[in-house]
Amino acid sequence: MAHCRIVWTFGWRALYRQVVRSSFATVPFYRERWALRGRTDPVVVAGRTGEHGGAIPAAALAGRLPDLVPLAGGSATPDPLRGLEIVLPQCARVAPDTLIIGVAPEHHPLSVPFESTPDEPRGHVLAVGTRAQLAGVGPAVPRVELVPFAERGTSGLLVDELLGVLGGARDCGHWHLDWPRVYARETPLGLAFTLLRQRSPRLVDIVPAGGADGRIIRCPQHRTPVVVA
Amino acid sequence: MKAEIFDPRTDPEPEYWATLRATAGLRADWAWEVLAAQAWGARSAQLITVLFDGTTPKAVVNAAWLGAPLHRFSFTGATSRPWVGAVHVRGPGSGAVPGWWLADDVPITALTETYARAMRRELGPGCLALVLRQVTADQAAQAGRLKVVRPTERIWTFPVHEWSDPEAWLMKLSRSRRSNLRGIFRRVRENDGLEIRIETGTTTLDEVRVIEAMRWNDDKYGGKLIPRVRVLSGYLRALVAQPDVHSTSYIDRATGDLIAFGTALDHPTVPIVRSWTQRPASEGGAKYLYFYHLSKQVEWAIANGKRFVELGKGKSEEKKSLGAFPSDQAALAVPIRPW
């Protein structure tokens, strides 16, 4: 646990500051936005603090994805399921022989789409999908719901079209972030998320579609960051 | 002479800048907010220097401080202080125009001596050389004993004052080019699907779409070793919002797609046809639009009584066939003594 505390206190934030610095130096979108308007926490141009502390609503990125590619090149296509293979096993029991119905991590050996769900599945089964998709699955099947941030209840995985899987509700009952790959910062616009490990398209301080209200605290049980209302 | 050096990224516009721009005939790319946006989107520090004789500005120079460490894939750091390198004098945002203006009574040696010393004082002993681009042979001959002069790509100019009307211009061209142009005019006139939007000082341009179009050019002309740096949409927005910038968009009416885009920077006598970018032919681009665009610029310049229209570098065959003449250019490098 001592390791967790060190990373929580120093590493996570240091990684975020490094991503901000690198994005300002190499990604056209952030260069323009923060140079001409500014940002806070960290401030990159002395005296310019910008609107919403530099947070960017997801709607502002419409049509701008090529500008999120660093000068050295890279992909301009976001992965809406980024982080699923890490967050899903944290939030539900997933073994190699688990049959996942619906949305499965890329390298999971056993998975079927919703349309070809067997009538009487045998063994350990888990259904993963949005609320509408899960409506067609039998009530006896254990399930993990993919929910947008603004519509979260008490269980499921937090997903966003741009940012992918941001976190999920674990056995402690808290909404855990995909720590340390996702950084969250409190801004006047709500929580702004940063993908610390994704080089391209670079996503820094993005407020998901629909807004994201909440605060970041440390989970008393797991000692990692969680979102509370 | 006294020198004032500015970093347009952080320094506010000097109060004499608008007057100085008018006196010097500096086009819209020298407007302060355009310089600021351009400097933020550059890979090297961009410095503006004004040389004064007493309180009268006698010269303006735009230069890039090409100092180590320099990175291929990142914009210049907000506080980076390169320690060794050379000062590269070029037009802001374009290498096809000289990056300086001198009052009539100031010789070019003011740049190689006064200006070079001022830069040496500002940038430190690591500032080893001064490189001037787009120098003519006469100017190069005036510089001191130690110098390196190399010819660079020629630039092309339309002698608009020789043509009384567009028909006179057409008659100067070769027979095949003339009939080709008439065909192009007819094709554009009869093409109802093509919308041509000419805007001056616009704030409503969808610059994101234009930037996307400019990427086609970047990929086509950018080098492998030193790729072109992406143009910031903030730069284009600031540039086309200037009251003396004409931007022409060629739009497909059916799909709303941008097919081609060009800008021209106005000037009392010598406007510049600045950027031109168009979709590759495989994506619905049309090569003839380039000729059409240049012809319209000629017609506009004739109608407004301009003397010349500058076209910049490249595409020599096309420009020559449209009646432009070349002027030889050279790059001049002089050492700066480190003490």
Residue A1 is predicted with a pLDDT of 47
B238: Cα within 13 Å, side-chain hemisphere = 22
Instruction: Round to whole Å and give the CA distance between B127 and B117.
Output: 10
pLDDT of A117 above 90: no
Residue whose entry in the numeric block shows the structure tokens 């990224």: B9
Q: If DSSP codes are grouped into helix, strand and coil, which group holds residue B169?
A: helix
A82-115: pLDDT as tens digits: 999 999 999 999 999 999 999 999 999 999 999 8
DSSP β-ladder status, B84-89 and B56-68: antiparallel
Helices and strands (H, E) in chain B, number of each type: 11, 13
Averaged pLDDT, A147-164: 94
Burial class of A188 by CB neighbour count within 10 A (0 to 12, 13 to 18, 19+): exposed
Give A46's contacts in chain B (Cβ within 8 Å): 10
Put simply, the answer to whether A35 touches B211 (Cβ < 8 Å) is no
Q: Kind of pairing, strands A99-102 and A111-112?
A: parallel
- Tell the residue number behind the tokens 């007057």, with chain if given: B19
A170-228 pLDDT, tens digit each: 999 999 999 989 999 999 999 999 999 999 999 999 999 998 999 999 999 999 999 99
* pLDDT exceeds cutoff 70 at B106: yes
Distance from chain centroid for Cα B329? 15
Record: contact A31-B78, CB cut-off 8 A: no
Residue of B168, B111, B119 lying closest to B139 (CA atoms): B111
Q: How far does B261 lie from chain A, in Å, by closest CA?
A: 18
pLDDT at A115: 87
Specify the length of chain B in residues.
339
End-to-end CA distance of chain A: 26
Mean pLDDT of chain B: 92
Q: Where are the domains of chain A?
A: 2-75+172-228, 84-160
Summarize chain A as % helix, strand, coil (round to 5): 30, 25, 50
Q: Does B8 contact A at CB distance below 8 Å?
A: no
In chain A, what's the furthest Cα-to-Cα distance? Answer: 64
Cβ separation A31–B37 shorter than 8 A:
no
Question: Is the CB of residue A71 less than 8 Å away from at least one CB of chain B?
Answer: yes
**What is the pLDDT, as a whole number, of residue A221?**
94
- Whether A67 and chain B come into contact, CB under 8 Å, resolves to yes
pLDDT for B220-259, tens place per residue? 777 777 788 888 999 999 999 999 999 999 999 999 889 9
CB B293 within 8 A of CB B275: no
Q: Can you tell me whether residue A145 is helix, strand or coil?
A: strand
* pTM metric for this prediction: 0.90
Report chain A's mean pLDDT, rounded to a whole number: 91
Q: Please indicate whether, in this complex, the C-beta atoms of B75 and A70 are within 8 angstroms of each other.
A: no
- pLDDT computed for residue A5 by the predictor: 57
Domains recognised in chain B with CATH numbers: 2-155+329-335 (3.40.630), 160-323 (3.40.630.30)
Nearest alpha carbon to residue A165 among A58, A82, A77, A78: A82
Q: Could you please report the per-residue DSSP string of B164-182?
A: SSHHHHHHHS-HHHHHHHH
Q: Which of B66-70, B197-201, B217-221 has the highest mean pLDDT?
A: B197-201
Please give the DSSP secondary-structure letter assigned to residue A38. Answer: B
Average pLDDT over residues A62-85: 92
Q: Which of B78, B215, B227 sits opposite A44 (nearest CB)?
A: B78
ipTM: 0.86
pLDDT band at B280 (very low <50, low <70, confident <90, very high): confident
The DSSP line for B68-129 is ES--TTSPPPTT----EEEEEE--TT-TTS-SEEE-TT--THHIIIIIHHHHHHHH-TTEEE
Range in A5-19, A74-88, B100-114 with the lowest mean pLDDT: A5-19
Contact B208 A70 (CB under 8 A): no
